[in-house]
């Protein structure tokens, strides 16, 4: 599952979204410190891979784009967590 994430920047977006479950696009940009265009490109790629869903949401501040973690995103996040745990155990 993890091999379907195309770059470290996209991995960063996936971790941000799936850690919270869902986030506004503006929050993803702020948290990841990525440019809007880079974050959007990653969001589209992750959506195409079925890891997140892009949805328009109405808020008090107007319409916003909501990124929602899907089942494949959760599986990739679990895989990342397991790899990190193994890496910290050492030989």
Q: What is the residue range of 30's domain?
A: 2-89
pTM for this entry: 0.86
The count of domains in the chain is 1
- Residue 83 three-state SS: helix
| CATH code, domain carrying 9 | 1.10.10.10
| Encoded tokens for 78 | 């679990």
pLDDT digits (tens, 9 = 90+) for 9-52: 999 999 999 999 999 999 999 999 999 999 999 999 999 999 99
Q: What's the whole-number mean pLDDT along residues 77-84?
A: 88
The residues, ordered by sequence, that sit 6+ positions from 2 with a Cβ below 8 Å of its Cβ are 76, 79, 80, 83
Count the residues in the chain: 91
**What is the per-residue pLDDT for 91?**
62
Q: How confident is the model at residue 2 (pLDDT cuts 50, 70, 90)?
A: low
pLDDT higher than threshold 80 for residue 77: yes
């Amino acid at each position: 599952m993890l091999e379907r994430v195309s770059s470290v920047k996209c991995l960063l977006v996936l971790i941000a979204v799936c850690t919270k479950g869902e986030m506004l696009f503006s929050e993803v940009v702020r948290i990841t410190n990525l440019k809007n265009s880079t974050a959007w490109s990653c969001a589209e790629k992750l959506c195409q891979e079925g890891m997140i869903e892009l949805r328009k949401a109405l808020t008090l501040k107007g319409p916003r784009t909501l990124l929602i973690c899907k089942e494949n995103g959760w599986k990739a996040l679990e895989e990342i967590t397991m790899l990190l745990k193994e890496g910290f155990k050492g030989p």
